[in-house]
Structures are given as structure tokens and as C-alpha cells.
């Protein structure tokens, strides 16, 4: 086999030398492309020679085959695998295993090839990495030169086991954390191409240590880490966020955890297990709504009046002011707009007040959604399946967190791999371990027969009476 490999290398060297002598060196770019193609072809042939030698050695090792009960059923059965070098075509023997009663190619697992696998793990991972940023067709063209179809790219995406990015720091002490939560609305495919819209909400949470200035009007987040969920479940997202914060930061040293959001129900329930959590309304949504109402009666200084009421935490003052606005001559549309804003204001009063009063940096929830999700999922007229959407969301988040899918991620993860969500469960168990159980002091109120004469009499005696009665 050594002589065969040397012969291939000699042929490769001759080809390159002939290209140089023929004048191709005058165009370095073309020569590099042709030499690369020659090297890939020679490498593929060398690998095929190595596999052929391994198969021959296994076939001739009769003692090994007898010991493991292997009987040759078919020689030189062909197989092809698409690799980073291109397709590798090779032949190997097919055996009957007396111990299991099954037929199998013994050489495949020795080469790290799974059953029915036609695309190597490295190529599959590269396809998924590209598909997270561009269309399936473009990913196939970039990685394989169009050798595989769009459907194959999708199959590799669904096959991938996208991991969670490891925390960049562990047990770091910071005074504040800023968590940005928002959602993207993605168009879904409908069966039989039914007409009408069908959307799914994709939650996204970004944990940061705040922002730092890049230029006069631009900031960047400090040490951001993004989270979403393959099943698009907000509860699962928050659980992962909790586990990440526990691993990455010294929670006891964190004074405040600001959760920036638009007041959505799933956002308001985030990080409830941390006593330091403070929910702050996203400034983009609040000030946009406030500007809209202010334009209705521009001479009333609505913005100044409501901001002052928020600064003094005076709900009654804000309520009286809005009631006064509703008594003004308004159209039905304007009246509905003011009432809608009032519902929004008083329904999220605490969150909005924190945005106005507290000295916290501006929110960037919309920017995170646009950059991490919308750029691939919803900006173009696309329709996603539920499975494909969950996988592409996880892949994009993983890549944004600095990860890169590899061959090992195209197969089932090893047992014992702990996720952030599981870590959060363990932390809560440890946190409450040893706590006093005060449930023995809690008892249900006795159910008494209120219709009995005794209970009616006791009720009358215990009823508070007016001093003037």
C-alpha cells in the first residue's frame, strides 16, 4: 500500500510541475484552483487505497472472523460518502454475524460511518452552519458546489443536535445584569397550500452586562448570550436563562437584574425566582405609543404631564389627566387610541415607571430580534415547518453565541451532558435544601354549616355594628 500511495504522490507532483512549466503560473489564481483540484483528487484516491487495504486485511484475517462469528456473504460491496474532499467511492465486504443473526459491513463502524449515511458529518455540519445564514439552495452551492439538493440540506438540519454555548465566564461578580426579551413573528407553512396567514411566535432572550459606547449614537452590548428554544416554549427559554446566570455569574453579588421587554405576558413572568429582578418597559415601544397619543392634542403637553406623573409614581394624577383628555372634543378613532394607551399605561405601570425613573441604559430588544432572528426567519417571504423552524432558531442562536457546529453535533449527544435548564433545577434543589418547612403551621379553614341556627347567631354577634346604630 505504501508503494501505491507514493505512486499517487509522484503523479501529483508531476502534474503540478507540468502545470508550472506550461505557463499557468502566470495566472496565480487559476493555477491555485487547478492545483487544489489535483490535490483533492489525489487525496481521495489515497483514501480509497487505504480503505481497500483495510478491507483486504479484514478479509484475510480468518482467525479474527472465526473468533467473532463473521462469515463473508458478499465481497466488494460498493458505497459512497460525500466528504470535504468530495465523494469517496470505496468497496467493502458484507458479513453475516452468527452471534446476532444480522448482516452488516464490519468496516463501516471502523471508519466512523453510520448505517445509510451518505453525507459525512463534517459536510453535514458545514451545510447546517451555512443554512443558518442563507437559503438551503445557497448553502448547498457554497458547501458542495450544488452536489446535494435543498431537501438534503433540510434533512441535515433536522438531523443536527444543536448544543448550548458554554458560558464565557464562570462565577463573575457584576453589579447589574440587563436581560432583553422580545419575540419574532414567523410565517408558517400551511397544509395543502391553504390560503390565509399562519404565524408562530419565536421568543428570544439576551443576557448582557449592559452596554458600552461604540460611537456617538451607537452602543454595543457587553458579553451578550442569546437564548431561544427548539419547541418555541417561553418557559423553557427562561429556565435556560436562569441556569446560565447561575453558572456564569455570582448571583449574590448581583444587585439588580433588569428585564427589558414590551410588557408581554411571557416576558413579565421571566426570572421570578431572583429577588433582584426588576422589569423595565422597552423604551422603543413606550415612547412610540406616547408620541402617538401626544399628536392627538399637541397643545396639551401630554408627554410632559404623563412623564411627571410616572416620575412621582402618581397613578391617580395620571388617571385624572387621561379622564380630562377623554372629555375633550375627539373623534371616535382618537378616543379609542387614548383609551388603548391608558390600558397599556396602567397595565404596565411599574415597568414603565422603572424605564422613566431608574438610571438604566436604553433597551435594544428590537435590534436583537432583527439581528438574531428576523434576518433569516421573517424578513423575506418564507414559510417554515415547525421542525425546521425550531432547528434553524437553535442553530442561529448557537452561532451568534460564538459556537460552530461540528461532526459530533450531527449525532446524538453523549449521555450525562447537562443543559442550562437542568442546571437551574439542580440549583433550586440545592438552594431550598435545609430550609424550614412552615407548612405545619398552615391549616385549611374548617368548613362550617352556615345554614345552622348556631352559625347564624354567631354571624350576627360577630358582625361589626355602626356606632350610630
Q: How would residue 18 be classed by pLDDT, with cut points 50, 70 and 90?
A: confident
Tell me, yes or no, whether 304 and 384 share the same domain.
Answer: yes
* Residue 129, domain member (yes or no): no
Q: Are residues 97 and 205 in the same domain?
A: no
Looking at the structure, tell me whether residues 184 and 114 fall in a common domain. no
Owning domain of residue 56: 2-118
Q: Are residues 183 and 111 in the same domain?
A: no
Q: Looking at the structure, tell me whether residues 204 and 79 fall in a common domain.
A: no
CB 294 within 8 A of CB 302: yes
The answer to whether residues 105 and 24 belong to one domain is yes
Residue 50, in any domain of the structure: yes
Residue 313 in domain = yes
What pLDDT sits at residue 7? 87
Compute how many other C-beta atoms are within 10 angstroms of the C-beta atom of residue 54: 16
Report if residue 16 sits inside a domain.
yes
70 or 418: whose pLDDT is higher? 70
Give the pLDDT confidence score for residue 115 in this predicted structure.
85
Q: Please, which pLDDT band fits residue 460 given cuts at 50, 70 and 90?
A: very low
Q: What is the pLDDT of residues 142-171, one digit of tens each?
A: 999 999 999 999 999 999 999 999 998 899
Last residue of a domain, one of 340, 374, 400: 400
Q: Are residue 180 and residue 81 in the same domain, yes or no?
A: no
Q: According to the model, what pLDDT value does residue 419 have?
A: 74
Q: Is the pLDDT of residue 280 over 90?
A: yes
What is the pLDDT, as a whole number, of residue 24?
Answer: 62
| Overall average pLDDT of the 346-353 stretch | 93
Last-in-domain residue among 379, 400, 421: 400
pLDDT for residue 2: 76
Are residues 182 and 113 both part of a single domain? Answer: no
Query: Is residue 422 domain-resident?
Result: no
Looking at residue 415, its pLDDT comes to 66
φ and ψ at 80, to 5 degrees? Answer: -130, 145
When comparing pLDDT for 278 and 217, which is higher? 278
Q: Is the pTM of this model over 0.75?
A: yes
Q: Single out the residue in 382, 400, 418 at which a domain terminates.
A: 400
In a domain, 386, yes or no: yes
Domain count, the chain: 2
Whole-angstrom Cα distance, residue 416 to residue 389? 27
Q: What is the mean pLDDT of residues 52-74?
A: 92
At 69, the pLDDT band (50, 70, 90 cuts) reads: very high
Per-residue model confidence as pLDDT tens digits over 360-414: 888 888 889 999 999 999 988 888 999 999 999 999 999 999 999 999 999 887 6
Share of the chain above pLDDT 90, in %: 63
pLDDT interval class at 196 (50, 70, 90): low
Please check whether residues 183 and 264 belong to one and the same domain. Answer: yes
Residue 261 lies in a domain: yes
Mean residue pLDDT of the chain comes to: 86
- Asked if residue 452 is part of any domain, the answer here is no
190 with 110, same domain?
Answer: no
Amino acid at each position: 500500500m505504501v508503494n501505491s500511495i507514493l505512486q499517487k504522490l509522484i503523479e501529483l507532483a508531476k502534474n503540478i510541475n507540468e502545470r508550472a512549466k506550461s505557463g499557468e503560473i502566470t495566472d496565480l489564481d487559476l493555477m491555485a484552483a487547478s492545483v487544489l483540484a489535483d490535490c483533492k483528487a489525489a487525496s481521495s484516491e489515497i483514501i480509497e487505497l487505504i480503505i481497500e487495504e483495510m478491507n483486504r486485511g479484514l478479509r484475510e484475517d480468518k482467525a479474527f472472523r472465526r473468533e467473532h462469528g463473521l462469515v463473508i456473504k458478499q465481497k466488494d460491496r460498493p458505497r459512497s460518502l460525500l466528504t470535504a474532499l468530495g465523494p469517496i467511492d470505496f468497496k467493502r465486504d458484507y458479513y453475516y454475524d452468527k452471534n446476532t443473526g444480522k448482516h452488516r459491513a464490519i468496516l463501516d463502524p471502523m471508519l466512523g460511518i453510520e448505517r445509510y449515511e451518505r453525507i459525512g458529518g463534517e459536510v453535514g455540519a458545514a451545510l447546517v452552519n451555512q443554512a443558518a445564514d442563507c437559503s438551503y439552495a445557497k448553502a448547498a452551492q457554497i458547501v458542495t458546489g450544488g452536489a446535494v439538493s435543498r431537501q438534503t440540506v433540510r434533512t441535515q438540519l433536522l438531523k443536527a443536535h444543536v448544543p448550548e454555548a458554554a458560558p464565557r465566564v464562570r462565577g463573575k461578580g457584576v453589579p447589574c445584569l440587563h436581560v432583553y426579551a422580545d419575540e419574532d413573528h414567523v410565517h408558517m407553512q400551511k397544509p395543502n397550500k391553504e390560503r390565509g396567514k399562519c404565524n408562530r411566535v419565536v421568543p428570544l432572550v439576551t443576557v448582557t452586562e449592559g452596554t458600552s459606547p461604540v460611537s456617538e449614537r451607537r452602543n454595543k452590548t457587553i458579553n451578550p448570550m442569546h437564548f431561544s428554544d427548539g419547541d418555541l416554549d417561553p418557559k423553557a427559554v427562561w429556565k435556560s436563562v436562569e441556569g446560565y446566570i447561575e453558572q456564569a455569574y455570582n448571583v449574590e453579588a448581583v444587585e439588580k437584574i433588569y428585564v427589558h421587554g414590551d410588557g408581554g405576558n411571557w416576558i413579565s413572568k421571566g426570572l421570578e425566582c431572583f429577588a433582584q429582578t426588576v422589569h423595565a418597559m422597552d423604551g422603543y415601544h413606550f415612547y412610540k405609543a406616547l408620541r402617538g397619543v401626544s399628536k392627538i392634542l399637541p397643545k396639551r403637553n401630554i408627554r410632559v404631564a404623563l412623564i411627571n406623573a410616572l416620575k412621582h409614581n402618581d397613578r391617580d394624577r395620571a388617571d385624572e389627566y387621561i379622564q380630562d383628555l377623554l372629555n375633550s372634543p375627539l373623534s371616535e378613532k382618537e378616543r379609542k387610541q387614548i383609551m388603548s394607551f391608558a390600558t397599556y399605561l396602567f397595565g404596565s405601570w411599574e415597568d414603565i415607571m422603572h424605564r422613566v425613573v431608574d438610571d438604566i441604559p436604553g433597551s435594544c430588544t428590537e435590534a436583537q430580534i432583527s439581528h438574531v432572528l428576523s434576518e433569516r426567519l421573517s424578513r423575506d417571504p418564507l414559510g417554515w415547518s415547525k421542525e425546521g423552524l425550531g432547528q434553524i432558531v437553535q442553530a442561529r442562536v448557537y452561532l451568534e453565541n460564538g459556537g460552530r457546529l461540528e461532526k459530533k453535533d450531527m449525532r446524538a449527544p453523549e449521555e450525562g451532558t447537562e443543559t442550562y435548564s437542568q442546571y437551574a433545577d439542580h440549583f433550586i434543589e440545592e438552594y431550598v435544601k435545609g430550609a424550614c418547612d412552615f407548612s405545619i403551621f398552615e391549616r385549611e379553614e374548617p368548613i362550617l354549616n352556615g345554614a345552622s341556627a348556631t352559625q347564624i347567631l354567631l354571624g350576627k354577634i360577630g358582625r361589626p355594628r355602626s356606632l350610630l346604630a
